Structure 1
Amino acid sequence: MRPGPSHLDTARAEIIVAEAGHRAAVDYVSRFGKWDARASVRQRPGRRLSGHRDELATPFPPELAPVAAHALVAGRGPDAVREVLTHSLYQYLHFTTELEELAVIPVVAKISRNRSGLDLPEAMRADAFKIYTDEAWHAQFSYDLVRQVERASGIAVRLPELPSFVERLDAVRASLDPAVRGLEALMFSIVSETLISSILADIPHDSRLPKAVRELVRDHAEDEGRHHAYFRQVLHAFWPALSARERRAVGPLLPQVVLAFLEPDYRAIGTALSAAGLAPDEVAQVMAESLPRRRVVDEVAGSAGSAVRYFTEVGALDDPATAEAFEASGLLLGAAR
């Protein structure tokens, strides 16, 4: 994928790919025209816990943390359940901070500076600056809320240093043909920003949760709606800009990238269960019975449906090896919903 000369205006860019030898016209419609009036970093305060005694009685939806409902956890009493749910909140917030800083911000920085390898319209590069600012704010407010919850709950954060998605993406990167390595950062960010998390959809409406948690996730979700639309358009520039060889190398790895972001962080969950007092054999039992593979794949497929449709739109699944990888992963079920 190599950038070439193009005729640009605020609505349309022609991506000329020297290596692939073809031209792909990409329409760009900005969702950031009223960014100053809508972005949470411009209009919303940092969210603060109120300090009420029972505010953190249900810090995270139990339905999104099935291990908390297991008999071996519930049998240890409400304090153990609350500890597991608090760590589920910590995991979500820590994941957000690391995702923004490691996977998204570096990519939008390159897009904004015209260093992405794609020849994009000026309006698209300008909007990348706004996304950079949004994502830095998401990382900051997620980090800050972890510190607030830790102080208010008295439950110390016990998490692996990095979420599992980092190690999973490193494995995908290592499996790439060295001749095409370097494309994966943009691919990772496109996937991550076009997934639809049940957390972003459900938490803002869950009155059981602390108001600060609901408001923070609502702020995040509203910003991510604009980012989702943006990266869908980035994909329409990215995929046609790849050579046939690059598509064949990258396409079959896409299901692994989706799973890297959406599959549960088993290591972090195990750490939370141990912190709640479960023995190693109990931790293994809770995780096996609460997170069976079929359930995990079905939930991942639901969240990945939009991303899979977008890759279908650009022809990624026209490659037999890519289509086979998606079929084997079970992710096509979500795209059909």
Structure 2
Amino acid sequence: MFKEQLLRGPAEARPHGGEYTSRFERWDALASVRRRPRREFEVEGPGFFFPPELYPVVLHPIVAARGEAVVAGLLLQRLYDYLDFTTELENLAVIPVATKISRGRSGLVLPERMRADAHKIVTDEAWHAQFSDDFARQVATTTGCPRLGVDLPAGPAFVTRLDELRQRLPHGLRGVESLLFGIVSETLISGILSDIPRDDRLPSAVRELVRDHAEDEGRHHVYFRSVLKNLWPALTPSERRDVGPLVPAAIHAFLEPDYNRASYHLGGIGLSRDEIDQVISESWPAREVRQNISEAASQLTRYFSEVGALDDARTLSSFEEAGLVRIAHESEKTSHAPREVPA
């Protein structure tokens, strides 16, 4: 399986030659794995383990009525879920793609410098996965509150969503969803991480950990935008018609809240099934979730437009149905950060 290409067929037969400007010239001096220390968690004064606005179930009256201790416990579990999401995202989605690129098994003909930089991304992401897992273990030891739900069979929601996306592709194109999701996740995550390091309500070590991650992801964002510039022209017209309409689903797979994980935690505080359903639906109204995702993905939608993806009628229709095109064309000044961090 390691020898299989993400995009099948002879890479040399596909159009290639996309431009690439490296952002990794000073990687040794800038990468968090090279210059940042291990972040050590300590219990500090009053505050939150995670921004409550990014986990709106804790603001719902049914949950708030359970008391501050319950809210604090849910926010602690949300921090664990965020750290688990990061570890799983890097290990399951990003590192395999970057490894394929580095070893010339992406199915694309890429500049040698681009392949060499992919090695550095693998190193970055392995460090992100490691320090997220390590930090979660520290938090559990220091607080005495264990991680709950980390061993749920389905894992973070993006895993199941990505599998479902793969099943929608023609058999001969399966594998390209990994490239697509790598592009989506790596260009969106830098915006997601931007606000947390500035939130003084959070423990300093949490803010520093997220800042370390965000600084690396800024370089990854630029890199995977280049991957998109190489991928789309390399696809045949038929492949573009098959892949393009699924891009909004890949965006939702990454950005949509993890309702199942939130339901699990709400059940853990004693809410009934009806109460859980009410809290979930009223905390994340469908229209608001759709709007938040559209705003968060506006820059990425523009990237797909720039490579010609929206020239296909079915792809354009799919973006319109997801509410992505309107937001992208409305204003480039729209904030790129969603109100909810993927769980």
TM-score (norm 2): 0.90
- What is the letter of the counterpart of residue 128 of structure 1? A
Conservation of the 8 A alpha-carbon contact between 1:83 and 1:276: no
Question: Which of 185, 192, 205 is the aligned partner of 1:192?
Answer: 185
Q: Partner of 1:167 in structure 2?
A: 160
Give the superposition deviation at 1:276: 2.4
State whether structure 2 residue 89 is matched by structure 1 residue 99.
yes
Structure 1 portions without partners, runs of 5+: 6-15, 18-22
139, 163, 176: which one pairs with 2:129? 139
Match of 2:201 in 1: 208
| Cα distance, 1:198 vs structure 2 | 5.2
1:244 corresponds in structure 2 to 237
The offset of 1:180, in angstroms, is 1.9
Q: Which runs of 4+ in 1 moved over 3 A?
A: 1-5, 196-199
Counterpart residue type for residue 223 of structure 1:
D
Q: Which amino acid aligns with 2:38?
A: G
User: Residue in 1 aligned with 2:294?
Assistant: 301
TM-score for both structures, normalised by structure 1: 0.91
2:115 matches 1:125: yes
1:81 counterpart letter in structure 2: V
Contact 2:140 2:147 in 1 (8 A): yes
Q: 1:113 to 1:24 in 2, by over 3 A?
A: closer
The alpha-carbon distance between structure 1 residues 204 and 149, as it changes in their structure 2 partners (threshold 3 A), is same
> What code does the residue aligned with 1:48 have?
E
Rounded to whole Å, the distance in 1 between the matches of 2:122 and 2:295 is: 27
Question: Does residue 285 of the first structure (1) align with residue 275 of the second (2)?
Answer: no
Alpha-carbon offset, residue 303 of structure 1: 1.5
Distance between the aligned counterparts of 1:51 and 1:69, measured in 2?
23
Identify which of 129, 154, 158 aligns with 2:148: 158
Q: Cα–Cα, structure 1 residues 167 and 4, in superposed 2: closer, same or farther, change >3 Å?
A: closer
For residues 223-282 of structure 1, the C-alpha deviation after alignment (integer angstroms, 9 at most, x for no partner) is 000000000001111110011111111110110010001000001111111222322221
**Gaps (5+ residues) in structure 2?**
1-6, 332-343
Q: Displacement, 1:178?
A: 1.0
| Distance (Å, rounded) in 2 between the aligned partners of 1:292 and 1:238 | 35
- Mapped to 1, the partners of 2:127 and 2:173 lie a distance apart of 32
The aligned amino acid for 1:89 is: L
Letter of the aligned partner of 1:290 in structure 2?
S
**Distance of 1:82 and 1:198 partners within structure 2:** 26
Is residue 260 from structure 1 mapped to residue 253 from structure 2 by the alignment?
Answer: yes
Counterpart code for 2:188 = L
Change (3 A) 1:227 1:103: same
What does residue 73 of structure 2 align with?
83
Residues 166-213 of structure 1: CA deviation (Å, up to 9, x unaligned): 001100101111122222111111111111465401100000000111
What root-mean-square deviation, in Å, do the aligned CA atoms of Structure 1 and Structure 2 show?
1.5
Q: Which amino acid aligns with 1:63?
A: E
Contact 2:42-2:142 at 8 Å conserved across structures: no
Query: What's 1:45 paired with?
Result: 37
Residue-by-residue CA offset, 1:96-144 (whole Å, 9 max, x unaligned): 1111001110011011111111111111011000000000000111111
Out of 96-105 and 326-335, give the one that drifted further: 326-335
Structure 2 partner of 1:20: none
SS in 1 for 2:17: strand
- Once the two structures are TM-superposed, the CA of residue 146 in structure 1 deviates from its matched residue by 1.3
- For residue 326 of structure 1, the aligned residue among 290, 310, 319 is 319
Deviation at 1:283, TM superposition (A): 1.1
* In 2: Cα distance, 1:303 partner to 1:142 partner: 23
Choose which of 166, 173, 181 in structure 1 pairs with 2:174.
181
Identity in percent: 56
Is the CA contact 1:3–1:119 (under 8 Å) kept in the aligned structure 2? Answer: no
- Residue of structure 2 in register with 1:26 after alignment: 18
**Kept after mapping to 2: 8 A contact 1:84/1:272:** yes
Secondary structure (helix, strand or coil) at the match of 1:27 reads coil
Distance, in Å, in 2 between the alignment partners of 1:119 and 1:3 is 10
